[in-house]
A and B are shown apart, each in its own frame.
Chain A
Amino acid sequence: MEDREIVDLYLKRDENAIAATKTKFGKYIVTIAQNILGSVDDALEVENDTYLKTWNSIPPTVPLNFKTFLGRISRNLSIDMYRKSNSEKHGSGNISLLLDELSESLPSNDGKPDEALDSAELSHALSAFLKAQDSDKRVMFIKRYWYGASIEDIASEMSLTQNNVAVSLHRTRAALKEYLESEGIAV
């Protein structure tokens, strides 16, 4: 079934929309959640929440890209679950590791006191930075920090060694820090 047809089911309030979504994107949604949370049970919970949130969002929202729309919901719900479980001193999933790595990209706050950008502006800046990178580096970075994929999985998919992936990610993180500082972007 085409994505547009599935969205139409949502717009018609046809409950078959959820089954169709699960069939076509269930694995995608679970993969993102599991990558971030590191737990199958939590990922399955996020999957169900994703369907519910999608059901409640369409309409009025009509996503231009249904797949990334679902991916974002899954990612954001996973982050919410991480924060909740982290505050309850439950498992911290894989996000802690990702945040540790991303902290290498934080621009220095020394010097002139730049005003922090709002989230949309920062997203735009990140998009611009990533588009300027080599394709492989860009794909690795997004797989790692958006999809939460493990270095092992990335290496397997891209036919690289884990060391190659780790080194490439390290360089991209350093480049991001340099980019943010050169653009005067505070975080």
Chain B
Amino acid sequence: MSKTDKERAEVLFDALSDIDDSLLLEADEGLEIAREVSVGLKRRRQWVAIAACFVILVAIAVPVVLSGLPKTKSANDTADVEEFVVEEKAKYAEGQNAPYESFVDGASSNKSKASENPGLLVDDDGIYDSNGEDAFINGIDSLPEDETERNKLLGTLILTKWEDNLYAVVAIPNKENGDQYEVLVFEKAEDGYKQVSGFGNYKAKSLVEFTTKVASQYN
């Protein structure tokens, strides 16, 4: 804008000062409120932004912190596992005795796993075969194609602890059909561990004893 135009605009702007009172009164309604609302909205948005940042930080930090802490049993964990077992019992009552996917979900969501078997790998994210493939998700395909390698896995037990050893998932290459896994769920009873799903009916005073019994059955 040239200087001349600016000066002309100022003339127009100045002349507006003396327009009729009625026009000013009509337009001043809510003038101060609008500024307060605007300021209020800005402050609210700032607080919302701050709150959102805080939530994001907490969402990032909590899992990181928790992942570095030793696992402890909580009422919620127990409740989740109990609910899971109840569901599995119901499935078995209905004859659905090969709930691979359900077990996969359960195993993947549980961070408290430990393997007592060198044949397969167990970490917080799942159970893997020797090729690093997810054994549960890939199922049959995850077994090594090489017969020698596959035979090494036969009869191995993959023991997964759930929350203070209350429950365990055991994946066992079937001795009769070496290209399949079977998955069994056990719960800790007063007198030891007992199977609540899968084949057979095993009881043991410890998981080691229990898995030994299962292994002898499958080898």
Contacts and interface: CB of A to CB of B under 8 A. Distances in A.
Interface in A124-156: 126-127, 130-131, 135, 138-139, 142-143, 145-147, 149-150, 152-154, 156
Interface residues of B, number: 32
A57 interface: no
A146 B24 contact: yes
Contacts of A34: 35
A35 B26 CA distance: 18
Nearest to B6: A99
A120 interface: yes
A123 B18 CA distance: 6
Contacts of B145: none
A163 interface: no
A146 B12 contact: no
Interface residues of A, number: 47
Contact of A103 (B8, B21, B23, B35): B8
B9 A106 contact: yes
B32 A27 contact: yes
A82 to B, nearest CB: 10
Contacts of B17: 72, 75-76, 79, 123, 146
B24 A142 contact: yes
B10 interface: yes
A102 B1 CA distance: 11
A154 to B, nearest CB: 7
B15 to A, nearest CB: 4
A119 B34 contact: no
Interface in B11-52: 11-21, 23-28, 30-35, 37-38, 41
Given A103-B8, A123-B17, A126-B19, A65 B35 contact: no
A31 interface: yes
B12 A157 contact: no
Contacts of A35: 35
B5 interface: yes
Nearest to A36: B13
A68 B15 contact: no
Contact of A68 (B16, B21, B32, B34): B21
Task: Kindly list the 4 A-B residue pairs having the minimum CB-CB distance in the complex, ordered from nearest.
Answer: A157-B34, A142-B27, A123-B18, A122-B15
Interface of A: 27-28, 31, 34-35, 64-65, 67-68, 71-72, 75-76, 79, 95, 98-100, 102-103, 105-106, 116, 119-120, 122-123, 126-127, 130-131, 135, 138-139, 142-143, 145-147, 149-150, 152-154, 156-157, 187
Given A31-B31, A156-B34, 15 more contacts: A95-B13, A98-B13, A100-B1, A103-B8, A106-B8, A116-B11, A131-B20, A142-B16, A142-B24, A142-B26, A149-B35, A153-B35, A153-B38, A156-B38, A157-B34
